Structure 1
Amino acid sequence: MFGNVIGDFITGFQFLTRIPIKAQTQWSPNSFSQSVKYFPLIGGIIGLILAGIVYGAQGLLGVKIPMHLLAIGLILFEIILTGGLHCDGLMDTIDGVFSGKPREKMLEIMKDSRVGAFGAMSFCLLIFVKYSLLMDMDPKLLPLAVLVMPIVGRTAVVIPITFYPYARPEGLGKAFYQSSHKYTLYVAGILAALLLIPLGKIVIVSGVIGIGFAFLLSEYVSKRLGGLTGDVYGATIELTEIVTLLVFIIYS
């Protein structure tokens, strides 16, 4: 049993990041779906890495890095760390949902590997907004904000995975959806609470608002597509991270 837990965690970790910890050539759909409950922990590891970068840049190593370089570095490193997977999902989602086409055409556009005008604009806006929020962040709160941001994003995505139907008969994202249910959400919620609640009021508020945003986003997109896809999961993570940073700016 413990071996299955470790295996499921590694499956999720290697999918959501590009950190090589185990050579794995075969992926079980069941392991994919079972890994969803550990998404908050995976977000916590990503957050610890980003927070460590901030602490180092803020003088821990005796090197003072200008804030604009630190903000750019955090954005680039997160993209490298995740392989740009969620950014790709955001672009595909925006291309499809805002195409003005019927449902089937939307799904076809989202499946197309080419990036359209809406997708390109959404990526540019994502980087610009995230950069602006990091620049405006209170330097004392920045380590906490970048620690919490991935946790909330990867906790929030459990909602669309467990509550909403998959819009396609097949797809990589369906491996996460097909065996996930409310038990998955309960475990992920407990893990997220253990990670976030001890960090204080502003963290709790950012978590609640981020999860609420993910629910509203899922509801909107599901009505447009008749369900959700793996691309929508990625978009949920990216947009929820933006909302999390925004909460830190407003409540700081």
Structure 2
Amino acid sequence: MLIVKGLKGLFGFMTILPIGMESIETVCKYFFLAPIVGLLLGTVAGAVGLGANYVLPDLICGFLVLVCVEILTGFHHLDGLLDFSDAAMARGDTKSRLEVMHDMFTGAAAVGSGVIVLVLTGLAFGSFSGLDILKAAIVAEIVAKESIVLTAYLGKKPSYKGSGYYVVEAMENKHLEVLVSLALCGVVGFVLVGVWFIFVLAAMGIAVALLTFHSNKTLESVTGDVMGATNEINRMIALIMMLAVIT
């Protein structure tokens, strides 16, 4: 079935799992199912945290969950956050910012944003214990992947044909697919954390809107790095919102 190939392609594209790759066209066609990838990542990482919680302090378990997620995704999204942060802080026109984003150097903005996001995310994970850390990991990863879908849907295509170009192009005017993606995210979120999940969704929506608006304005597009940054930032936001309204 095509949908099975699409999911296989998504897992191969978004993780380091050795399941093989499909064509970029197949991956992009089913990109709206990215929350399913988040479901698996969150389950695996959350299970690691849950198991470790029997012998280790909550804080250590929280950072273990984060490390597990980053390893499973090959640190690709984190790399996007670093590149996007340098471009966001750069002065100049769109061309200059894109050059900063794609250069081989890591600036102060990248280091600062990386440290802030990773530390806050690890601390947030570490604020959950027992079964709650598993639930938090699943919800955070699903929300993070949904944020990428929405960013691609709302973004402008880059001028160059990288992975971001094909994803954004595939999501153009895909209204039904976005609704299906949101429904998947919503069902899992409401089942795991209840009605309070609406606040998590709202916070994610605001963050996506701001990041996409900024990217469309300053970079005149949404690139793969922007989507990676969106993933990392919204994982953190989802966890903080769960702590604020649920615990």
Normalised to the residue count of structure 1, the TM-score between the two structures is 0.89
| Matching residue's letter, 2:160 | P
Give the alignment partner of residue 151 of structure 1, picking from 142, 145, 152. Answer: 142
Q: Could you say what secondary structure the match of 2:95 adopts?
A: helix
Q: 1:226 aligned to 2:220?
A: yes
| Contact 1:32–1:175 under 8 Å retained in 2 | no
Compared CA separation, residues 91 and 216, structure 1 to 2 (3 A): same
* 1:72 Cα offset (Å): 2.3
Q: Which residue of 1 aligns with 2:202?
A: 208
CA contact (8 A) 1:155 1:211 kept: no
Relative to structure 2, which stretch is displaced further, 200-209 or 69-78?
200-209
Q: Partner residue of 1:178?
A: 169
Aligned to 2:49: 54
For residues 1-252 of structure 1, the aligned pairs below 5 Å read 3-21=1-19, 23-24=20-21, 27-59=22-54, 64-137=55-128, 141-180=132-171, 181-199=174-192, 200-251=194-245, 252=247
Matches of 1:211 and 1:195, distance apart in 2? 17
Q: Is the 8 A contact 1:164 1:222 kept in 2?
A: yes
Instruction: Please give the alpha-carbon distance, in whole angstroms, between the structure 2 residues aligned to 1:197 and 1:151.
Output: 12
Question: For residues 157 and 135 of structure 2, what CA distance do their matches in structure 1 show?
Answer: 34
**Structure-2 separation of matches of 1:135 and 1:69:** 7
Query: Closer, same or farther in 2 for the Cα pair 1:31/1:89, shift >3 Å?
Result: same
Partners of 2:143 and 2:235 within 8 A in 1: yes
Query: 2:143·2:234 contact (CA, 8 Å) conserved in 1?
Result: yes
> Which digits, 9 at most, give the CA deviation of each residue in 1:84-123, with x for residues without a partner?
0100000000011111221111011112233222112221
Any idea what the Cα deviations from partners look like across 1:194-230, whole Å, max 9, x if unmatched?
Answer: 3222221233321232133212221122211112111
1:130-169 deviation line (CA, Å, top 9, x unaligned)? 1222233465632221110000010111111112212323
TM-score normalised by length of structure 2:
0.91
Q: CA deviation at 1:12?
A: 1.0
**Can you give the 5+ residue segments of structure 2 that lack an aligned partner in the other structure?**
none
Shift of 1:238: 0.4
- 2:62, 2:128 within 8 Å by CA — same for their partners in 1? no
CA distance in 2, matches of 1:94, 1:236: 11
Aligned counterparts of 1:119 and 1:41: Cα–Cα separation in 2: 29
Task: Report the Cα distance in structure 2 between the residues aligned to 1:48 and 1:37, rounded to whole angstroms.
Answer: 19
Where structure 1 has 5 or more consecutive residues not aligned to the other structure, the ranges are none
Distance in 2 between residues matched to 1:86 and 1:35, nearest whole Å:
19
Does the CA-based 8 Å contact 1:162-1:184 persist in structure 2? no
Cα-to-partner distance string for 1:165-191 (whole Å, 9 max, x where unaligned): 123232121121112222331221222
Q: Give the Cα separation in 2 of the matches to 1:65 and 1:138.
A: 11
Paired residue total: 243
SS of the equivalent of 2:30 reads: helix
- Bigger shift: residues 102-111 or 217-226: 217-226
